[in-house]
Amino acid sequence: MALGSFELPNSTGTHSCPSGTVVVPPLAGGCAMGADEYLKRATAAAAVFSQFTQEQTDRVVRAVYEAAFNKRVGLARLACEETGLGKWQDKVIKNVVASQFVYDDIKNLKTVGIVSDDPVAGIVEIAQPMGPILGIIPVTNPTSTVIFKILIALKTRNPIILSPSPRARRCSSEAARICYEAALAAEAPEHCVQWLTEASLEATQALMSHKSLALILATGGAGLVRSAYSSGTPAIGVGSGNVPVFIEKSADVAFAVEQIMLSKLFDNGTICASEQAVVVERDIAEATAAEFRKQKAYFLSAAEVAAVERIAFDPRRRVMAPDVVGQPATKIAQIAGLDVPADVDLLVAPLKGVGEQWPLSSEILAPILAWYAADDFRAAVNRCIDLNFHGGVGHTVSIFSNDEDRIREFAGLMNAGRIVVNTPSSQGAVGGIYNRLHPSLTLGCGTGGHNITTDNITARHLLNVQRIARRRENQRLGRFDAHLFLDESRDAAAVAAAYHKNS
């Protein structure tokens, strides 16, 4: 299968994590310290980094990209072995996106000195680094997110401190070590990359609130993201991605199902932009279900849905159960006590509603999809809105359709930073593969998801921009009788007419 279609041999099948032991060399730049020492080192690195030219900076970034790319397979295997999540083959591709694709996207970006000069407006823009950054790393993407955050931080001359998930400390530390040693070999400042070797919530929170920290890049669980935003330090965080995919009746059904399977099965569904529910118009529901079955999806009975709910969702914490995250469909079925065919790749759960009464309508990062048949376009859109607001506001929605008017109407009604069209949602939202979105492992969800932006986060978000503003007098104001501002008998229209007269 072609890499251009983001597929690997058997990439939609079940791959077990490697059984051999991956040897990790001694750490070169991570050690257990207090927050003060981490920030002291990072601040010293920032002082040196701020003096780098664009050429020096780009040399470091290229060296890090190449080193990370060259270790993409070993890091993927280590991540799979340590966490027990997903498929190492797909984690290789995540590492490729985080290294090669991100590097190609940012390599020509100007991040040092004057980045814009508009002599007409009299505005000169100067890029400056922000300072030490804390990067929080999720267990679902423990090496790719490390590579991604290091690259965008170093491209903007910002030292970074990484806080890995405790469940992925070894592989995240190894990814950080590889990047750091490559950076040092390219003459980057000492301690430009640091990482917590004994990751804990307490250590991370101490770093979050430290007065010398400039920014938090928070990719992880909802609790950590909330802590980042409440720390008093500027933060760029992400929201959850309860992504609905709408198969509209003009869609090519076989193509839509193929693309959804390609996305949802990628790394066993661990990407937060993976589809969580399929919504189809009733006119094509039977044909769509038949196509899913043809492509090795198993539709659960009502009793089987209840069995999967019990093991896939934690009702007390109202979140997915960790035991099913990133596991193959057959293992999830086994845990639930179900007898399903050995070649099943996806579990499909027909549901009648959205919300706490229907646990599988929530985000489940595993090969489980909720299923809804809607009477018509309007009912389908309303169902997608319900799903969107049930834990996925601002993130991503997907539509398969060949009706441009329907696509635009759907997009206008959804609260999502990314509306991907005729595209596998996981790979489409990440960017750089099926569209020209910036490749990113941190996807903003806007104010709906309690984030500052809906962008795919990249290097440009890690810059402070100074603006030199030259004198350019407002000629309209110079010609205008300013006494009219004091005349209460003149309304807005009258004053505006006088202000813009002869212009």
Helix or strand (DSSP H, E) at 254: helix 253-264
Please state, in angstroms and as integers, the Cα–Cα distance from residue 104 to each residue in 70, 107, 428, following that order. Answer: 15, 6, 17
Measure the CA–CA gap between 259 and 165, rounded to whole angstroms: 31
User: DSSP string covering 45-81, please?
Assistant: HHHHHTT--HHHHHHHHHHHHHHHHHTHHHHHHHHHH
In the three-class reduction of DSSP (H, G, I as helix; E, B as strand; rest coil), residue 355 is classed as strand
Q: Residue 200, exposed/middle/buried by CB under 10 A (0-12, 13-18, 19+)?
A: exposed
Measure the CA–CA gap between 258 and 375, rounded to whole angstroms: 23
Task: Report the amino acid identity of residue 481.
Answer: D
Please state, in angstroms and as integers, the Cα–Cα distance from residue 256 to each residue in 39, 249, 288, 294, following that order. Answer: 49, 11, 9, 13
What beta strand segments (E) does 30-181 contain? 113-118, 123-129, 133-136, 160-163
Measure the CA–CA gap between 264 and 138, rounded to whole angstroms: 19
State the catalytic residue, choosing from 171, 272, 384, 445. Answer: 272
Buried b or exposed e, range 291-330, using 16+ CB within 10 angstroms: bbeebbbbbbeeebbebbbebbbeeeeebbbeebbbbbbb
The two tokens of residue 433 are 């593969």
Measure the CA–CA gap between 487 and 481, rounded to whole angstroms: 11
DSSP single-letter state for residue 100: I
Measure the CA–CA gap between 266 and 134, rounded to whole angstroms: 28
Residue 363 in contact with residue 242, Cβ under 8 Å? Answer: yes
Residue 272 is among the residues annotated as catalytic for this protein: yes
Determine the number of helices (DSSP H) and then strands (DSSP E) in the chain.
18, 17
Residue 394 in contact with residue 415, Cβ under 8 Å? Answer: yes
* Residues forming the active site: 272
